Structure 1
Amino acid sequence: MSARARIAVLHRLFVQQPGPIKTGSVVTYYQVQGLAPGRNTVRHDLRAAYQKGLIYHTGPENDRRWHLRSIGGGR
């Protein structure tokens, strides 16, 4: 599956799941969706979604929580 398609799956997770999401939860979600990528792929996808302005993060790097950015670009 292409990175663009995975980002779409990732965005769907954030729309469906209220509140912050941890990287490990994304790994599990990808596996349930039949993607089964490694943790590094998930991190890459999260960074790509962050760079596109779809999500933002809180917390230190070793305990990062990801949030869906509200419409209009604010938190």
Structure 2
Amino acid sequence: MKRLMIATALVLAAAGTASAVTDPGELSAPARMEAQRLVPNGDFDNLSAAQADAIRSILSSDEDARGGQIRSVLN
């Protein structure tokens, strides 16, 4: 019984970690919503990893021209 509980705990822990791994070319839901708020007509599908990283970096900055910067990344 003890082995079964340990095995179950390990499987659940591994499943939680695997679900936390995301595609580097995708933005998290909150980041995507913020980017879409700043650039309503932007196409945020099929981003490269570099584009997603750049958008995440822009979103974490305090600059006023974030929408324009995101547009330039998308082009």
For this structure pair, what is the TM-score category when the shorter chain's length is used for normalisation? under 0.3
Flag the structure with higher strand content. 1
Query: TM-score if structure 1 supplies the norm length?
Result: 0.27
Rg (Cα) greater in structure: 2
Query: TM-score if structure 2 supplies the norm length?
Result: 0.27
Flag the structure with higher helix content. 2
